[in-house]
Amino acid sequence: MGTAFCLWFLCFLDLVFIFSDTLAGAQPQVPAVYVFGDSLVDVGNNNHLKLSLAKADFPHNGVDYPGKKPTGRFSNGKNIADFLAEKVGLQTSPPYLASKSNKSGGFPITGVSFASGGAGIFNGTDERYRQSIPLTKQIEYHSIVYENLVQELGSGPALDHLSRSLFTVVIGSNDLLGYFKSGSDLPKKTPPQQYVDSMALTLKQGLKRMHDFGARKYVILGVGSIGCCPSQRNQNKSGECNEEANYWSSKYNDGLKLMLQALKSELKDMDYSYVDTYNVFDSFVQRPTTYGFTEVKAACCGLGNLRAEVPCIPVSSYCSNRSDHVFWDLYHPTEAAARFFINTVFNGSQQFAIPINVRQLIAA
């Protein structure tokens, strides 16, 4: 009875939030959303990278997306970036590489996505995918967008526009997955504490660089419980989570929170919402029925044990009950999980978002 009520109440809240956002839809809550990160928020940049092995521009990706065609999203449908855009009343920020190739010139004033599947905080993280856009390059691309805005609007209006926009950063999972990947030699070179400390420090430098190009309101996602994704579970005969990977994911998040506090003291005009991705997805895994999930271990799309031995490719099988699964493929959440995630953190308590949630960040 309790679980059923919780599920009903969550659905009721979804309707309330959707209704309120619809009422506000005529006037977007922010002027733009700029997205930096990896495959969790890639909306098609990697489609334009000829050598990249981290692509999702083929079936069965996109089976539930409008038009039922693959778009480059690592999902059966929409991803976190799509649902965040919906929440603030904007269209999803298009891929930078698609905008760059647009013959009409310029970039959409409502935001751009620089996110790239396989990207990491460290420049070398993407090497196993042959080609990706690391965070440093994503920020370099943003500097071009910044200059373009200054030319179009003038310096003052451009800075005002950017200061009210959201800068969403979803990165770090690939750095950790690479460290804990079976056969990785990284642990022999660098102790785990030193590695996660270096991740936080490197990200700090990137965020400061983004600040140089107008970023003031940051939505920073911590890494999830990566040890519980199907690829990591598949490394254990028991199918249980990789607790070492989870431990160091949590330790990285601890360092990330401290780094953001220190950065806020350095950059007085910045505000941020740190999103506790680990806690949110852990609640999906530990209490799945509360959110309507029945499968938390296996991927929906793939082949082999837990559908995690072969990625989601055209010859893979995929489940018919996508909304019951937390994971779409080896690493990525289903559209249902992404929707619940954004609904949870956008208006969330400090259990899921600190020091303020995303809605409060918009109003700051």
Q: Where are the domains of the chain?
A: 2-223+241-282+346-363
Between 3.40.50, 3.30.70, 1.10.760, 1.10.287, what CATH number should domain 2-223+241-282+346-363 receive? Answer: 3.40.50
At 101, is the pLDDT very low, low, confident or very high (cuts 50, 70, 90)? low
Query: What is the average pLDDT across 250-260?
Result: 98
Q: Is 90 exceeded by the pLDDT of residue 74?
A: yes
DSSP E strands in 222-337: the ranges are 271-275, 301-302, 317-318
Choose the catalytic residue: 60, 142, 325, 332: 332
Residue 18 clears pLDDT 80, i.e. is over it: no
> What pLDDT band is residue 128 in, cutting at 50, 70 and 90?
confident
CA distances to 58, 72, 318 from 315, rounded to whole Å, are: 11, 17, 10
Q: What is the pLDDT of residue 103?
A: 53
- In this prediction, residue 50 has a pLDDT band, given cuts at 50, 70 and 90, of very high
Specify the pLDDT at position 329. 98
Q: Are strands 317-318 and 301-302 parallel, antiparallel or unpaired?
A: antiparallel
Residue 170, phi then psi, degrees to nearest 5: -130, 90
Confidence band, pLDDT 50/70/90 cuts, at residue 9: very low
Active site residue 332: yes
Residue 313 pLDDT grade (very low, low, confident, very high; cuts 50, 70, 90): very high
Active site residue 60: no
Cis peptide before 157 (omega within 30 of 0): no
CA atoms of 80 and 86, how far apart (whole Å): 10
Contact 14, 343 (CB under 8 A): yes
What are the tens digits of pLDDT across the range 180-210? 988 899 999 999 999 999 999 999 999 999 9
pLDDT at res. 104: 56
Check the CA dihedral 209-210-215-217 and report its sign. negative
- Residue 197 tokens read as 């400390």
- Beta bridge pairs of residue 220: 169, 274
Kindly name the residue from 38, 39, 42, 250 that is annotated as catalytic.
39
* pLDDT score of 19: 45
Phi, psi of 37 (to 5 degrees): 155, -155
Q: How confident is the model at residue 105 (pLDDT cuts 50, 70, 90)?
A: low
Is 260 a residue whose pLDDT tops 80?
yes
CB atoms within 10 A of CB 248: 22
Q: Measured between alpha carbons, how far is 162 from 33 in angstroms, rounded to an integer?
A: 9
Q: Is residue 39 annotated as a catalytic residue, yes or no?
A: yes
What are the φ and ψ backbone dihedral angles of 300, each rounded to 5 degrees? Answer: -80, -40
For position 347, what pLDDT does the model report?
94
DSSP code at position 119: -
Mean pLDDT of 125-132: 87
- Given pLDDT bands bounded at 50, 70 and 90, which one contains residue 302? very high
Q: Is the pLDDT of residue 228 over 90?
A: yes
Helix (H, G, I), strand (E, B) or coil at 340: helix
Using alpha carbons, list the distances in angstroms from residue 229 to 224, 294, 296, 335: 9, 15, 9, 15
Rounded to two decimals, what is the model's pTM? 0.92
Lowest mean pLDDT among 103-117, 327-341, 350-364: 103-117
Q: Which carries the bigger pLDDT value, residue 255 or residue 128?
A: 255
| Cα separation, 341 vs 351, whole angstroms | 13
What is the spatial distance between Cα 40 and Cα 33, in angstroms, rounded to a whole number?
16
The rounded distance, in Å, linking the Cα atoms of 324 and 70 is 21
**Is the pLDDT at 15 greater than 90, yes or no?**
no
Q: How confident is the model over 144-155, as pLDDT tens digits?
A: 999 999 999 999
